[in-house]
Structure 1
Amino acid sequence: MNLATVRYIALNKGIDPGGLPKMELIRTIQVTEGHSPCFGNAETGYCERTECHWHLDCLSRSRHQRSC
C-alpha cells in the first residue's frame, strides 16, 4: 500500500498524517483502532493476525528488515 493511500485512511479516521513516515502513520492508525502498534514487527516472518488490514505489507516489511 502506498503512502498516499495510508494518508487517506488516516485522514478518514481523524488523524493528521503531517509528515509522519509510512510505518509510524500505520502504527498510529493501529492505536486509534484499538490495536497494538505492531506494524513491521513480525520478527519470525509470521503473524497470526491475518484479518489485519496491513498484514501483507507488514510481513513484507518485516522480512526486509531481517535481511538487512
Structure 2
Amino acid sequence: MKVSQIQAIARKKDIKPGKMKKLELIHAIQKQEGAFDCFASAFEGVCDQQACTWREDCFSAAQM
C-alpha cells in the first residue's frame, strides 16, 4: 500500500500524519484501532492476526 493511501486512512481516523513514515503511520492506526502495533514484526513469517489490513505489507516490510 502506498504512503498516500495510508495517510488517507490515518486522516479518516483523526490521526494527523504530518511527516510520519509508513511504519509510524501504520503503528498509529493499529493503536487507534485497539490492535497490536506490530506492523513489520513478523520476522519469521509468523503472524496470528489473520484479519489484519496490513498483513501482506507487514510480511514484506519485516524482510527488509
- Alpha carbon RMSD of aligned pairs, Å? 0.7
Q: Give structure 2 stretches of 5+ with no counterpart.
A: none
Task: Name the counterpart of 1:61.
Answer: 61
TM-score by length of 1: 0.89
TM-score by length of 2: 0.94
Pairwise CA distance, 1:26: 0.3
Misfit runs of 4+, over 2 Å: none
Partner Cα separation in structure 2 for residue 47 and residue 62 of structure 1: 11
Identity percentage of aligned residues? 39
Pairwise CA distance, 1:43: 2.0
**Is 1:42 aligned with 2:22?**
no
Q: Give structure 1 stretches of 5+ with no counterpart.
A: none
